[in-house]
Amino acid sequence: MENISFEKRDNVAILKISRPKFLNALNSETLRELEMAIDDIQKDKDIYALVITGEGNKAFVAGADIKEMSNMSVFEAREFSILGNRVFRKIEGLEIPTIAAVNGYALGGGCELSLCCDIRIASENAKFGQPEVTLGITPGFGGTQRLARIIGTSRAKELIFTGRMIDAKEAEKIGLVNKVVPQESLMDEVMDLANSIAKNAPLAVRMCKVAINRGIDVDIETGIQYEAEIFAHCFSTEDQKDAMAAFLEKRKIDKFKN
Ligand code: CAA
């Protein structure tokens, strides 16, 4: 792959968007590569968490590629948005937890990429924004939908209507990022977080994510019924038996299996 690098550290995968000359802007080729990488990750049962970040220390992703978009026809723009949305839905739909390590500008499609991850950790130099209206367009990779779900409609509308860029501190204050850390310790902090997730029972973690994501789209009664199903399902796993026995016998278990 030209524009994506992929690495596995134990049970954690790290995907890096790598077009530093263009501040990691997402063109169609990069989106297609990202999709292939996500499809591979989806099939790999030994990956328990995914980290997405950008190459260099200036940008996470500075948006969809403006050069590529500048001459698009209406038809091509629709295809481009469909492609981006399909890839981002795949990321959102991964059962394993995903963490965006936001190492700089996360603008437009870059902010949207971070939004389809479960958790966002930002370095102090990170900047977020949906500047599309300053380019005569709307967000095209889910920004009008996910931003409001994460920070609330009023704040999302303000950011999208103005195109204003916010710094990492403000992003943390409004709940857009979980934590802000010094630039030099970003990847260490993110890997610690990913490893602290990956050491837990993988099936239980995946079920929790699916339940939370499904629950947001349904009424509470349906969501709670689903939770009862997955809770019961865990009792068919070796991990539940081993972990509970270990607790009662006051010993630690080595590694979860399921
Ligand atoms: N697309 C294509 N190229 C981009 C880019 C983008 N989104 N963002 C930056 N680049 C390129 C620049 O054109 C420049 O290339 P050249 O050296 O060949 O001129 C290179 O990356 C470095 O960028 P700058 O010189 O502009 O760097 P800077 O430090 O002065 O500014 C910045 C940084 C504020 C992030 C600025 O680059 C910028 O405003 N970028 C565009 C951000 C943006 O509007 N993103 C939203 C795109 S629309 C979108 O994403 C729609 C959607 O939802 C699908």
| Residue 112 annotated among the catalytic residues of the structure | yes
Q: What per-residue confidence (pLDDT) applies to 257?
A: 83
- Asked if the model's pLDDT at residue 126 lies above 80, the reply is yes
Residues 94-122 pLDDT 10s? 999 999 999 999 999 999 999 999 999 99
Q: Which residues pair with 52 in a beta bridge?
A: 15, 100
Which pTM does this prediction carry?
Answer: 0.97
Q: How many CB atoms lie within 10 A of CB 245?
A: 11
- Determine which residue's CA is closest to atom 42 belonging to ligand 1: 62
Rounded to whole angstroms, the maximal C-alpha distance in the chain is: 67
Cβ of 64 closer than 6 Å to ligand 1, yes or no, is: yes
Mean pLDDT of the chain: 97
Q: What per-residue confidence (pLDDT) applies to 196?
A: 97
Residue 45, CB-side half-sphere exposure with 13 Å CA sphere: 3
Residues 7-62 pLDDT 10s? 999 999 999 999 999 999 999 999 999 999 999 999 999 999 999 999 999 999 99
209 or 258: which leads in pLDDT: 209
**Domains (ranges, CATH) in the chain?**
4-198 (3.90.226.10), 200-249 (1.10.12.10)
**Element housing 149 (H / E):** helix 143-151
Percent pLDDT > 90 in the chain is 97
Residue tagged active-site, from 33, 35, 55, 132: 132
Q: How far is ligand 1, taken at its centre, from the CA of residue 3, in Å?
A: 16
Which ligand 1 atom minimizes the distance to the CA of 66? 1
Cβ of 112 closer than 6 Å to ligand 1, yes or no, is: yes
CB 101 within 8 A of CB 63: no
Q: What per-residue confidence (pLDDT) applies to 35?
A: 98
**Ligand 1 pocket, mutate which of 17, 19, 21, 22 (most atoms under 8 A from CB):** 22
Rounded Cα gap, residues 151 and 105, in angstroms: 19
Which ligand 1 atom minimizes the distance to the CA of 22? 21
ipTM of this complex: 0.99
Question: Residue 129 class from Cβ within 10 Å (0-12 exposed, 13-18 middle, 19+ buried)?
Answer: buried
Q: How far is ligand 1, taken at its centre, from the CA of residue 23, in Å?
A: 6
**Ligand 1 pocket, mutate which of 55, 61, 66, 166 (most atoms under 8 A from CB):** 66
- Asked if the model's pLDDT at residue 245 lies above 80, the reply is yes
Q: What per-residue confidence (pLDDT) applies to 254?
A: 82
